[in-house]
Amino acid sequence: MLQLINASKSFQGAARIVRALDDVSLSVKEGEFVTVHGPSGCGKTTLLLVAGGLLQPSAGRVLLDDENPYSLSPEARARFRAGKVGFVFQQFHLVPYLSVLDNVLAPALARPQPAAAARARELIEHFKLEDRAGHVPAELSTGERQRTALARAMLNCPRLLLADEPTGNLDDGNAEIVLKFLADFADDGGAVLLVTHAAGAGIYAQRMLHMENGKLKPA
| CATH code of the domain in which 26 resides | 3.40.50.300
| Alpha-carbon gap, residue 182 to 109, rounded angstroms | 24
**Cβ atoms within 10 Å, residue 207:** 14
> Is 199 part of any domain?
yes
The pLDDT score that the predictor gives to residue 24 is: 94
The pLDDT score that the predictor gives to residue 153 is: 92
How far out from the chain centre does Cα 127 lie?
17
Mean pLDDT of the chain: 90
Write down the pTM of the prediction.
0.89
- Calculate mean pLDDT across residues 158-172: 88
Query: Is residue 83 very low, low, confident or very high in pLDDT (cuts 50, 70, 90)?
Result: confident
User: Are 52 and 81 within 8 A, CB to CB?
Assistant: yes
Query: Is residue 6 very low, low, confident or very high in pLDDT (cuts 50, 70, 90)?
Result: very high
What's the number of domains the chain is made of? 1
The pLDDT score that the predictor gives to residue 104 is: 94
> Is 22 part of any domain?
yes
Q: Is residue 15 scored above 80 in pLDDT?
A: no
Q: Is residue 13 scored above 90 in pLDDT?
A: no
> Is 80 part of any domain?
yes
> Is 200 part of any domain?
yes
Closest CA to 127 of 100, 147, 113: 147
User: Are 212 and 38 within 8 A, CB to CB?
Assistant: yes
The pLDDT score that the predictor gives to residue 51 is: 95
Structural domain including 159 reads: 2-95+154-218
- State phi, psi for 137 to the nearest 5 degrees: -55, -35
> Is 143 part of any domain?
no
> Is 146 part of any domain?
no
User: Are 74 and 94 within 8 A, CB to CB?
Assistant: no
The pLDDT score that the predictor gives to residue 170 is: 83
Q: Which helix (H) or strand (E) element contains residue 177? A: helix 172-187
- Across the strands, what pairs with 216? 211
**Edge-to-edge strand list for the sheet holding 59-64:** 17-28, 2-12, 59-64
> Is 87 part of any domain?
yes
In the chain, % of residues over pLDDT 70: 100
Q: Is residue 112 scored above 80 in pLDDT?
A: no
Q: Is residue 172 scored above 90 in pLDDT?
A: no
Query: Is residue 39 very low, low, confident or very high in pLDDT (cuts 50, 70, 90)?
Result: confident
Query: Is residue 111 very low, low, confident or very high in pLDDT (cuts 50, 70, 90)?
Result: confident
- Calculate mean pLDDT across residues 155-170: 89
Query: Is residue 198 very low, low, confident or very high in pLDDT (cuts 50, 70, 90)?
Result: confident
